[in-house]
Structure 1
Amino acid sequence: MKYFKFLLLTFILGMLCSCGGDDDICESGEGTPRIKLAFKNAATDKEVTLDSLYVAVDYGSGKVQLGKLQKITSRLVPLRVDDSPYTDVYVRLSDKGQESKVRISYTTKSIYVSPGCGVKKNYGNLSSELLTPNPVMKVEVGQNNIENEDKTNLYLLF
């Protein structure tokens, strides 16, 4: 019985000591960053708040609806993480309204973060092209590189 208690105590202490740090959890925004879209008035070139915005993205297997947001000044959108040199983003202002198609082109660079997070992609040499122009009238590139989600990368002019 004495040995059983000793083994049980050793087992419990071993379990407590084997708990690792937070190396297995990807924290503090170390994952692949998203592109930050902001909105401007085409006539005044000033930033605006949109009443509603619907966004969809083509990740290579068809459009994926990212949903509706209301009263927004910016939107974070994940880009493709495969080897494609562009991502198509679809934007509309109402549920059944007209849809604009914006093609965002870039180069990618993979960076190793940690065993838990793995590899993240940074996007550079950002350029955009408005393929379907209504309701978005024009696009403007802001920050040319996406390394974090702090700065606006693309302005959509309505």
Structure 2
Amino acid sequence: MPDLSGKVKQNVQMKYFKFLIAISFISLLFSCGGDNDICESGEGTPRMRVSFKTQATDKERTLDSLYVAVDYGSGKVQLGGQAKITSRVIPLRVDNSTYTDVYFRITNKGSESKVRINYTTKSAYVSPGCGIKLTYENLNSVLDPNTTTPVKEIQAGQNFIENEDKTNLFLLF
């Protein structure tokens, strides 16, 4: 008579293996997060919108090119250039600083204008994926008087940043 204990043992091991696979699959399904895992719906810290005007007519204009650099506290970071633009969004500092220095050029190697954006920040928890969102209030921009080329003057727009829809600063060329 053949020994059946080996086959019984093998069947029991196979049942445990199938059970382990099923539990792993179910755990994988439930561990996948929902919409809070990715911060894509504009819930993150908003950027500042800058638009452009002609100084003589005070009418909005399209720039042939604009190059932007920002000092985030450890030196200038080049954000690159864009062509044929009517506005640009620029991320501000997210540390405890009360200002961000932004540099504007209309040619790649040309002279630049420095604008200091002063503000106060307020933080709010958004979600596990987005973390904390900063909003900027009491925006006050100052054009450095030593760098009035190419930007001739600035005009204030909306003085708080909650989203990226409204223009916060107008640069006059």
- How does the TM-score come out when normalised to structure 1? 0.96
Larger-gyration structure (1/2)? 2
The 3-state SS of whatever aligns with 1:14 is helix
| AA partner of residue 15 (structure 1) | L
**Runs of 4 or more above 3 Å deviation:** none
Pair 1:116 & 2:137 matched: no
1:21 maps to which of 12, 34, 50: 34
| AA partner of residue 64 (structure 1) | V
Distance 2:24 2:114 in 1: 59
Q: Percent identity?
A: 70
User: Deviation digits for residues 49-93 of structure 1, max 9, x if unmatched?
Assistant: 000001000111100000010000000000011111111110011
Distance 1:144 1:7 in 2: 58
| AA partner of residue 155 (structure 1) | F
Gaps of 5+ in 1: none
User: Residue 82 of structure 1 aligns with which residue?
Assistant: 95
Q: Give the CA deviation at 1:19.
A: 1.8
The 3-state SS of whatever aligns with 1:65 is strand
CA RMSD in angstroms comes to 1.0
- How does the TM-score come out when normalised to structure 2? 0.88
How many aligned residue pairs are there?
Answer: 158
Distance 2:117 2:31 in 1: 46
Distance 1:96 1:9 in 2: 62
2:153 maps to which of 117, 121, 138: 138
1:66 maps to which of 58, 76, 79: 79
Q: Which has the higher helix share?
A: 2
Q: Give the CA deviation at 1:7.
A: 2.7
Q: Which has the higher strand share?
A: 1
Pair 1:38 & 2:51 matched: yes
Pair 1:149 & 2:164 matched: yes
Distance 1:86 1:18 in 2: 41
The 3-state SS of whatever aligns with 1:122 is strand
Gaps of 5+ in 2: 1-13
